[in-house]
Amino acid sequence: MSSTLLKNFIHGRYVSHNDNTCFDVINPATGEIIYAVEAASEALLEQSLLSAQQGFIKWSKTPAIERARILQRAAAILRERNDELARVEVLDTGKPWQEAAVVDVQTGADAIEYFANLCPSMMGEQQSVGDDFFYTRHEPLGVCFGIGAWNYPLQIACWKAAAALAAGNSMIFKPSEETPRGATLLAEILIEAGVPAGVFNVVHGDGKVGNYMVEHPAIAKVSLTGEVGTGKKVMAAAAGTLKKVTMELGGKSPLIVFDDADIDEAVTGAMIGNFYTQGEVCTNGTRVFVHQDCYDAFLERLLERSKNNVIVGNPLDPKTNLGALISSSHMHKVLDYIQLGKDQGATLAFGGERIKPLGCENGFFVGPTIFTDCTDDMRITREEIFGPVMSVLKFATEDEVIQRANNSDFGLAAGVFCKDIRRAHRVIAQLEAGICWINAYGNSPVEMPVGGYKQSGIGRENGIEAFRSYTQTKSIYVGMNKLEGPF
Ligand code: NDP
């Protein structure tokens, strides 16, 4: 890979179109341009489609056990190259090294390994109907299109590729313009592991590139990770050809702390659910509902730990645990929300400012921010901010908090901290959210299906459900007696 110019990766190699349509990628921690990327032209997109169709023919005929072996090799290479890949993610996203080194590459490799192990054991069914019988085949869909967000670039590419490829599909992937390297390096690794050329291509560009592919009749399915607004556009574009869609979208998730909770643990959950990856996590529990009887104790501990334990700094420094936001414009969006919170009457209990760490003065850092005296109708408690901004809300009764937690168009995640196990399960059962945690927050092992209720998404990633979503069922009826008819 060129260190200064990243090209599209098609049919097992980097491809150039020489028409000079490039865009820059900026290191969010320094504000410096770190490399340029060639955007895919229409001709190149067509080339990627042709290649993916060829790749599909070969890959879908490859025995599942062989597909599994190849994908397992890819997972092993990802793990071997962990530090190099994690560094790429840190430079592209601004997230702390201490996270990327243990999460981003590893969870990507986990997904490839999990789906690789699953694919040889996915069987069809057979059933007798009188003398006749039928059987089912779970067949791949064809060429799928993955669209990635910028917060977990390599992990998102791995999650989508893992399920799609294990099921025998080929995939063309468009990473976010802001973080295009992770997916491209994955494409290299898949080739090195033995995946045939064309089975995983990467095309670069903005929403227009994405839209071209979403509308294209040669694409069988689209899987998007992005904002709700983008999801609506992508779904509308996919409707023209009635494509299958998986949508992993945004959220404004509730995290509920009951009065019997272990306060320190609940504070840990709230801090993970708001400050991990500097708040740029779709499942963040940004509406922290705290029971009135433990509110003061919770807040005291939260403020103390936010003040003493959060280290904002150069993301490559292993001590840093809160990095830079993805871009200058995103940082200003987050700062605007903080101003809005103050204007609408919330109390800024902590943080709320841009930070310029030593050596990273031009980076896009916002310190951990905590609002109290929030109400349910404030924009900071209704809209996804996607930065380290927590809103703390007080509640009195179980029924009240369930109703308030569900009062959102989003429905991605939810968390409950309490020791009463009956209450924990009773409350979770009533929450309108696809991913829920009890006395935990944020962990998402590949075995567990993840996805949103309401406007937070359609379909699921990970788990067996995701594998199925990359297949279509064919039923084959077999007549065992001479066919009689009325004609
Ligand atoms: P965006 O929705 O802005 O972008 C997501 C991707 O879609 C990018 O690659 C973008 O291209 C592309 N895109 C934009 N417009 C179109 C279009 N019309 N057709 C096809 N593709 C298009 O999201 P962000 O990148 O800003 O990521 C943050 C969002 O992602 C948050 O809302 C977050 O909650 C959500 N998210 C959801 C997750 C989940 O699993 N539910 C996980 C992670 C994030 P480009 O930006 O390059 O122009």
Q: Which of 248, 280, 384, 436 is catalytic?
A: 248
Residue 1 has a pLDDT of: 42
Taking residue 19's Cβ as centre, other Cβ atoms within 10 Å add up to: 11
Q: Is 248 a catalytic residue?
A: yes
Tokens matching residue 241 = 């050809």
| C-alpha 428 to ligand 1 mean position (Å) | 28
Give the 3-state secondary structure of residue 96.
coil
| C-alpha 224 to ligand 1 mean position (Å) | 7
Give the 3-state secondary structure of residue 338.
helix
Q: Is 282 a catalytic residue?
A: yes
Nearest CA among 285, 220, 314 for reference residue 431 = 285
| C-alpha 476 to ligand 1 mean position (Å) | 39
Q: Residue 195 carries which DSSP code?
A: P
| C-alpha 39 to ligand 1 mean position (Å) | 17
Residue nearest to atom 5 of ligand 1 (CA): 226
Looking from the CA of residue 226, the nearest atom of ligand 1 is 30
| C-alpha 147 to ligand 1 mean position (Å) | 7
Residue nearest to atom 8 of ligand 1 (CA): 176
The set of protein residues with a Cβ atom below 6 angstroms from ligand 1 is 147-151, 174, 176-177, 206-207, 210-211, 214, 225-227, 230, 233-234, 248-251, 282, 384, 386, 412, 452, 457
Residue 388 has a pLDDT of: 98
Looking from the CA of residue 227, the nearest atom of ligand 1 is 32
CA distances from 214 to 167, 242, 244, 250 (A): 20, 10, 10, 20
Q: What is the pLDDT along the chain (487 residues), one digit of tens a residue?
A: 445 899 999 999 999 977 779 999 999 999 999 999 999 999 999 999 999 999 999 999 999 999 999 999 999 999 999 999 999 999 999 999 999 999 999 999 999 999 999 999 999 999 999 999 999 999 999 999 999 999 999 999 999 999 999 999 999 999 999 999 999 999 999 999 999 999 999 999 999 999 999 999 999 999 999 999 999 999 999 999 999 999 999 999 999 999 999 999 999 999 999 999 999 999 999 999 999 999 999 999 999 999 999 999 999 999 999 999 999 999 999 999 999 999 999 999 999 999 999 999 999 999 999 999 999 999 999 999 999 999 999 999 999 999 999 999 999 999 999 999 999 999 999 999 999 999 999 999 999 999 999 999 999 999 999 999 999 999 999 999 999 999 9
Q: Does the predicted TM-score (pTM) go above 0.85?
A: yes
Nearest CA among 154, 121, 114 for reference residue 138 = 121
Residue 311 has a pLDDT of: 98
| C-alpha 225 to ligand 1 mean position (Å) | 5
Q: Containing H/E element for 372?
A: strand 369-372
DSSP 60-85: HHS-HHHHHHHHHHHHHHHHHTHHHH
- In a mutational test of the pocket of ligand 1, which residue from 24, 26, 222, 227 has the highest number of ligand atoms less than 8 Å from its CB? 227
Q: Which of 89, 113, 177, 461 is catalytic?
A: 461
Per-residue exposure over 188-208, b if at least 16 CB sit within 10 Å of its own CB, e if not? bbbbebebbbbbbbbbbbeee
Per-residue exposure over 42-67, b if at least 16 CB sit within 10 Å of its own CB, e if not? eebbebbbebbebbbeebbebebeeb
Residue nearest to atom 41 of ligand 1 (CA): 248
Residue 17 has a pLDDT of: 78
Residue nearest to atom 32 of ligand 1 (CA): 227
